[in-house]
């Protein structure tokens, strides 16, 4: 029972940590320092680990790896969105959003 509790708590912490990273990338609208291969590798590994965990009947790892797989899917979509925004931004800012410094004085918040 204690072993399962340690596993579930650890899985929840890992899922929350990765989810927070994806959320931070979504909010920043930046791909700086993020490789497209990160999420491709994470998708592949998580799918394999989910299947393996199911086959060995380890539900803690089925849960953890499945949700890590879902965060990788979300992360890949965020990466692609951010890349599209950057490519469409032209000569503006890195993220495609105007910064306060680049806005006319009357338009600053």
pLDDT given for residue 34 in this prediction: 77
Q: How many C-beta atoms lie closer than 10 Å to residue 22's C-beta?
A: 20
pTM recorded for the entire structure: 0.65
Q: Which domains does the chain have, with CATH numbers?
A: 2-107 (1.20.1280.290)
Closest of 65, 33, 68 to residue 49, by C-alpha: 65
What pLDDT shows up at residue 7?
Answer: 81
- What residues in the chain have per-residue pLDDT under 50? 91-109
C-alpha span between 16 and 49 (Å, rounded)? 18
Do residues 85 and 96 make contact, with C-beta atoms less than 8 angstroms apart? Answer: yes
The predicted structure's pLDDT at residue 51: 93
């Amino acid at each position: 029972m204690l072993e399962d509790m340690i596993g579930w708590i650890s899985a929840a912490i890992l899922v929350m940590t990765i989810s927070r990273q994806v959320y931070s990338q979504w909010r920043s609208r930046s791909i700086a320092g993020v490789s497209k291969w990160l999420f491709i590798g994470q998708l592949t590994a998580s799918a394999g680990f989910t299947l393996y965990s199911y086959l060995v009947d380890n539900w803690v790892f089925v849960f953890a790896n499945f949700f890590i797989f879902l965060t990788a899917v979300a992360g890949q979509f965020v990466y692609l969105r951010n890349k599209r925004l950057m490519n469409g931004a032209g000569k503006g800012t890195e993220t495609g959003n105007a910064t306060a410094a680049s806005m006319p004085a009357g338009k600053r918040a």
